[in-house]
Amino acid sequence: MRLNVLKYWTKRAARVNESPRRKAIKKAIRHSMSRSLSSLSLTAGEITSLLGLFPKGLVAVDLETTGLSPLVDKIIEIAAVKITPEGEVTSFHTLINPLIDVPEFTIQFHGLTNDDLKMAPTIKKPLKTFWDFVGRHPMIAHNSTFDLGYLIKSSHDFQIEFPPLDVYDSCRWGRAAYKPLENPPANYKLSTLSDYCGFKLNHHVAIEDTYACLKIMAHIGNLGIDQKTPQMKSFVFRLSQFDKNDCFNFSTRLNGLTELVQSKYLVNLEYKGSLKASLRPIRPIGLMPLPKGPVLFAECLLTGMNKSFLLKKIKSYSRLEASYWKAGAP
C-alpha cells in the first residue's frame, strides 16, 4: 500500500514540475494524433472500385491552410491516403507550423489555432517525407488545383523535387459523372457529395476530407457508367508541366493586387481577354500557380462564373466599392 502511494505522489510531482515547453509539446502531440485519426474508412468493395479507376494505385490528399492563395498563404496541415495496386491502404498526416499567425477568419473552418501549431514542424522536412510517401502514384483531391498549388509552391520555395505524376480533381470527376443522372446532387461540394453518397463528413479536418474524396470516387466507380469522359474532364495537370520560374513569379506591380485579394475586396481588372469589355469586375478567391503561369482565380461578376485570370494579362487593377456591384447593376 505504501509503495502504491509513493508511486502516486512521485508521478504527481513529475507532472507539477513539467516545464511549460514540455507540457506544450505533449499537448501538440495529442492534438496532432487526434487529427490524424479518421472516423471514415474504406471497405474492401470501395478499394476494388477505386482500383478499377486507378489500376496503378492512387494517393488522395487534402490540406488546411492560412487562406485561399497558394502563392501567398501557408500550409498548416497535410493529410494523404495511399492505395497501392495490391489494395494496401496507408496514410500520412502532419500539422505544420506556418511561422505566421493563423488568421481568425480561417480558424472558424479548420479549428487550428496558433497554439495548436507552434510546436509542429515547419514545412521543409515534412514536405520531403510527403513526396516520398506519394512516390509515383497518381494524385487526386477535391478542387486539386488549390491543394496541389500549395504543395508545388512550397516545393519550389525549398527546391524540393516532386515526381512527374498526373493530378486529378474529384470535384470535376463528380460533376461529369453525376450531372447526367436523373437525380444528380444539388452541387459538387465535398460535403454535399458526402451526403449524396450516404456518409457523414467532419469537414475541414484534412484526414477526414481525404477519406471523403476517396469514398466519393469509389461511389462513382460503382455507377456502372463509362468513365473515360469523366476521367478526361477531371485531369488537371501533370506535375512535370510546371516550369519553376514562369509558374510562380509575377511582376512587383501586382503587389497591390495581392493585398486586395488577401483583404477580400472586390476588384476591377483591366484584362486582355476574349470578352470585348476590357474591364472585369471580379470577386477574388485566390492567387495560384498553373503550368501556363500564375493566375488570379476569381468570380467574374459579368458572367457569374469562376475563372482564372493570367496575371501577365492584367494591365491594371483597382478596388471596386461593394456598393457598386448589386443585383441588376449595369
pLDDT of 328? 43
Which 3-state string (H, E, C) describes the chain? Answer: CHHHHHHHHHHHHHHHCCCHHHHHHHHHHHHHHHHCCCCCCCCHHHHHHHHHHCCCCEEEEEEEECCCCCCCCCEEEEEEEEECCCCCEEEEEEECCCCCCCCHHHHHHHCCCHHHHCCCCCCHHHHHHHHHHHCCCCEEECCHHHHHHHHHHHHHHCCCCCCCCEEEEHHHHHHHHHCCCCCCCCCCCHHHHHHHHCCCCCCCCHHHHHHHHHHHHHHHHCCCCCCHHHHHHHEEEEHHHCCCCCCCCCCHHHHHHHHHHHCCCEEEEEECCCCCCCEEEEEEEEEECCCCCCEEEEEECCCCEEEEEEHHHEEEEEEECHHHCCCCCC
Within 13 Å and on the Cβ side, how many CA atoms surround 184?
12
Domains, the chain, ordered by start: 38-241 (3.30.420.10), 252-324 (2.30.30)
Name the strands in the sheet holding 266-271, side by side, starting at the edge strand that comes first in the sequence. Answer: 305-310, 295-300, 279-288, 266-271, 314-320
* pLDDT tens, residue order, the chain (330 aa): 555 555 555 555 556 556 665 555 555 556 566 799 999 999 999 999 999 999 999 999 999 999 999 999 999 999 999 999 999 999 999 999 999 999 999 999 999 999 999 999 999 999 999 999 999 999 999 999 999 999 999 999 999 999 999 999 999 999 999 999 999 999 999 999 999 999 999 999 999 999 999 999 999 999 999 999 999 999 999 999 987 678 888 888 898 999 999 998 999 999 987 666 578 899 999 999 999 999 999 999 988 899 999 999 999 999 998 755 544 443
Q: For residue 211, what are the CA distances in angstroms to 109, 114, 143, 182?
A: 18, 26, 15, 26
* Amino acid at residue number 23: K
Q: For residue 79, what are the CA distances in angstroms to 90, 165, 202?
A: 11, 18, 14
pLDDT of 273? 74
Predicted TM-score (pTM) of this structure = 0.88
- Which triple of cell numbers denotes residue 15? 507532472
pLDDT of 107? 95
* Nearest by Cα to 294 from 161, 153, 181: 153
pLDDT of 327? 44
pLDDT of 18? 61
Give 44: exposed, middle or buried? Use CB within 10 Å, 0-12, 13-18, 19+.
exposed
pLDDT of 329? 43
CB atoms within 10 A of CB 272: 12
